[in-house]
Chain A
Amino acid sequence: MFRFSKPLFVFALFSASTVALAVDKYDGVGRAATPAEVKAWDIDVRPDFKGLPKGSGSVDRGQELFEEKCASCHGSFGESNEVFTPLAGGTTKDDIKTGRVKGLSSGELPQRTTFTKVATISTVFDYIQRAMPWTAPKSLKPDDVYAILAYLLNLQEIVPGDFTLSDKNIADVQKLLPNRNGMTTDHGMWPGAPASKGGIGNGGKPDTANKACMKNCKPDVLIGSTLPEYARTAHGELRDQNRSFGAVRGTQTLGPEAAKKAADAGTLELATKSGCMACHGMKSKIVGPGYNEVVARYKDQPDAESRLVAKVKAGGQGVWGSIPMPPNGHIKDEDISTLVKWILSGSK
């Protein structure tokens, strides 16, 4: 309802000022934008300064505004690298003369900043006006934007501290921009005709060659390296770690035997971590009995597991000699159970 009733209403109000362009083709759908709407949308400032609003702002005023609205993210001197890359810095007096920032090509620049890169001052004006402050875009009046831009230009040592930037002198500032000659248009990023024919771009030729092959290409694919045998199990069973859907399966790294070995290795680690291995050897007596001795004694006793779990937990003395085994209340019950099962099954 909204789409169809509203245009009629607006047409009635603005019929004198509305230009009905090409709406005939979409009879009953939409309406031409009103000049006021176009004006509200059309805020861009172009390199030839088309769209630049009238106004002016001084460096001093810009400093106040910058401190109030910009410095929390950009730093008082536009130097901050915390939230965004720095705004100012990185250019020399020579760059202002040549119009090409030397640090960009010589590699001397530790960090690129806005002013080492930007080639048109209108872009900076446009961006501040359109997008800044981050939390309240389009809230700055043209005079504020001029002032902030003047402050930035002063930080960059392009204009002196008593400078006032305005729509009258912004074109002169453009001629001082450090990287003003840094923009190239002779590539496919630009849609127009080649520069020799007065356009911008290279006539729409892509920048990549897109040749199927260079030369001496190999006819067969040879696998250059594979996971060495000893490293295959380093991360357990890769097949189980892959996602369970889709075409690609992880390679099976463990056979059934290797899988048990890996699980045992995990238990040995658990035993070491739990402190068992300090007193018990796998195959020999250290302070307490070796696991092989434990297995030999408790063989053929069906309740061995539950008895041993209780013994490990509570500690004990006398079965294997006078040296006591300390209680192990700090180890989780399920871990003790795992360890006892592992010991009784041969702890391999």
Chain B
Amino acid sequence: MGNPMKIRAANKDGVTEVKVLVSHEMETGQRKDSAGAIVPAWFITELVAKHGDKVVLTSEFGPSVSKNPYLAFKFKGGAKGDKITVSWKDNKGDSRTDEAAIN
């Protein structure tokens, strides 16, 4: 299930800016622990953002993205009170969806 994302969305002059702080370990699979064993890769592979039912952002993440990644993007449209939904899937098959209203 993962930990909840933090999402802020604000509309200004017809453009909605969405900021997302994802909570995820984002292990690259390149790191070794103190015993010398490789820490298994565990990272987000795909992240999708929707405005209502309309997809406004799809992105492919990979091992090069940092732990707890921060993401900000803008799209035209959106109105106060509209629902923004952000969901990710990771390479272990886990996924999570969170939503927030535009203000």
Do B67 and A76 touch (CB < 8 A)?
no
Size of interface on B: residues with Cβ below 8 Å to A: 9
Q: Tell yes or no: A110 within 8 A of B by CB.
A: yes
Q: Which of A77, A79, A80 has the most CB of B within 10 A?
A: A77
Q: Which of B42-68 contact A (CB under 8 A)?
A: 67-68
User: Assuming A75-B70, A89-B68, A110-B67, is B8 touching A67 (CB within 8 A)?
Assistant: yes
Q: Tell yes or no: B80 within 8 A of A by CB.
A: no
**A202 nearest CB across to chain B (Å):** 33
Do A76 and B68 touch (CB < 8 A)?
no
B66, closest chain A residue (CB): A110
Residues of the B chain whose Cβ atoms lie less than 8 Å from the Cβ of A80 = 70
Residues of the B chain whose Cβ atoms lie less than 8 Å from the Cβ of A77 = 6, 8, 19, 21, 70
Q: Tell yes or no: B10 within 8 A of A by CB.
A: yes
Cα A77 to Cα B72 in complex, Å, equals: 12
B6, closest chain A residue (CB): A77
Q: Which of A54-91 contact B (CB under 8 A)?
A: 63, 67, 75-77, 79-80, 89
1/0 per residue, CB under 8 A from A, across B24-38: the answer is 000000000000000
**B44 nearest CB across to chain A (Å):** 16
**A169 nearest CB across to chain B (Å):** 23
Cα A155 to Cα B4 in complex, Å, equals: 11
1/0 per residue, CB under 8 A from A, across B1-33: the answer is 000001010100000000101000000000000
Cα A58 to Cα B70 in complex, Å, equals: 25
**A155 nearest CB across to chain B (Å):** 7
Besides A75-B70, A76-B21, A79-B70, 4 other A-B contacts (C-beta < 8 A): A67-B10, A76-B8, A77-B21, A80-B70
What are 20 A-B contacts with C-beta separation under 8 Å? Answer: A63-B8, A67-B8, A67-B10, A75-B70, A76-B8, A76-B19, A76-B21, A76-B72, A77-B6, A77-B8, A77-B19, A77-B21, A77-B70, A79-B21, A79-B68, A79-B70, A80-B70, A89-B68, A110-B67, A155-B6
